[in-house]
Amino acid sequence: MAKVYFAPARAKKWNYHDSMPGKLERLLQGIGLMHYFSPDEWVAIKTHFGSEGAHRIIRPVFLRKISDALKKIGAKPFVTDTVRIKGLDYLEVANQNGINHLSVGAPVVLADGLYGNDNIMVRAGEILGEVAVASVIHDVPAMVVCSHVKGHINSGYAGALKNMAMGGVSSAHRTCGWKCGRGSMHTIGEGEMVWDAEKCELCNQCRDVCPLDAITFRDDELVWDGDVCWRCGRCERVCQSESLTLPGEDKRFMHSLAEAAKAVMSTFEPGKILYVNFLTEIQPECDCMPAADVPVIQDLGILISEDIVAVEQASIDMLAAAEPLPQSLASDKQIRKGDNILGKLHHKPYLLQLEEAEKLGLGARKYELAGI
Ligand code: SF4
Ligand code: SF4
């Protein structure tokens, strides 16, 4: 049975030992990084840089603890993420959110280049065929996957599987575009956006939120560039009048996440990836949205495992036992104690991600929780 190590968020004593950074340091010692990584080995610390307005990412101090722990055993860490907006702008977002060489104690690099199209096609599975895995993630021999647990427009729950799948795959491939990239998971290939002119309030929010400028308005008519759009769903999410509909099918989407995660994992030798899930600042939406709403669940802690499915199941079990926070989207939606909070926020069958990942042999949902 897979072991998942846990450190709770509460600090009940006023000393470093009982702080979250202190506990993370002990978790990393406890799991024994030297069993996974070697001296002089390059190790990617995969995180999400956030967006200009989404500040509730994994805090740089935690990335620093991981990079320091890796350096202590002689490994050579660097912090990375795939490009979401233009590469130079994304590096600046990282910097603004506190992630830079000085703060995290390691180089900060883009996993798929300044243009987000430096990637290598890898076999995923029956649904996706092949996907464009970011070349840095494809080539690096070892990785610590730091995942900020939160809600998500499309996946309902976002943790390590989504971080590996959508975060390890580029938004587009140099020749086959978004259809080989992250967008292939969003809508599973083809499909057109539908705009309801009757309902549209011409607020322009969909245009402004689009990272690829795929939406414009001409004479009060929405013009959508289906070749540019990689079907991230942000425009649909921000539209308050439900005027936009993107194609998509939840079950296939959840399964495609598991397939893409498998593709990314397949580029590593067994035992070369560790998964660290941060159940902190659990906001209702993804870190790439233009703003971060207040958390819907109180900070719960940090989980580490070598098993991606086990760490995800443990995270979901903890969320299931949590209480919704007042003055949050959860209370706006009258979600109560005992409810499936992320389930009621997004109405997505997110457990399918784990079921499919287990079927594909990525790990096991049964786990043993160990403290530090
Ligand atoms: S789904 Fe919407 S926001 Fe995302 S790229 Fe397409 S048009 Fe832009
Ligand atoms: S966000 Fe919705 S209401 Fe606003 S312009 Fe776009 S489609 Fe229209």
**For ligand 2, what atom is nearest to the CA of residue 202?**
5
The number of folded domains in the chain is: 2
Residue type at 59 in one-letter notation: R
CB 282 within 8 A of CB 297: yes
Note down the domain range covering 78.
2-184+249-370
Residue type at 123 in one-letter notation: R
State the pLDDT at residue 342.
96
48-98 pLDDT tens trace: 999 999 999 999 999 999 999 999 999 999 999 999 889 999 999 999 999
Can you give the CATH number for the domain in which 331 is found?
A: 3.40.50
**β partners of residue 233:** none
153-204 pLDDT tens trace: 889 999 999 999 999 999 888 988 888 888 788 765 557 899 999 999 999 9
Burial class of residue 155, CB neighbours in 10 A (0-12, 13-18, 19+):
buried
Whether 232 and 107 share a structural domain: no
Round the average pLDDT of the chain to a whole number and report it. 94
Ligand 2 centroid–CA 258 distance in Å is 32
HSE, CB side, 13 Å, CA atoms: give it for residue 357. Answer: 33
Whether 150 and 206 share a structural domain: no
Q: Which of 351, 341, 327 is nearest to 279 (CA)?
A: 341
Indicate yes or no: pTM above 0.85: yes
Whether 260 and 236 share a structural domain: no
The residue ranking higher by pLDDT, 49 or 212, is 49
**For ligand 1, what atom is nearest to the CA of residue 246?**
1
Whether 172 and 274 share a structural domain: yes
Pocket of ligand 2, candidates 244, 245, 246, 289: which has the most ligand atoms within 8 Å of its Cβ, to mutate?
Answer: 244
Whether 232 and 278 share a structural domain: no
State the pLDDT at residue 190.
59
Residue ending a domain, among 204, 230, 245, is 245
Query: Residue whose CA is closest, atom 6 of ligand 1?
Result: 229
Q: Where on the phi/psi map is residue 50: left (φ > 0), alpha (ψ -120 to 50), or beta?
A: left
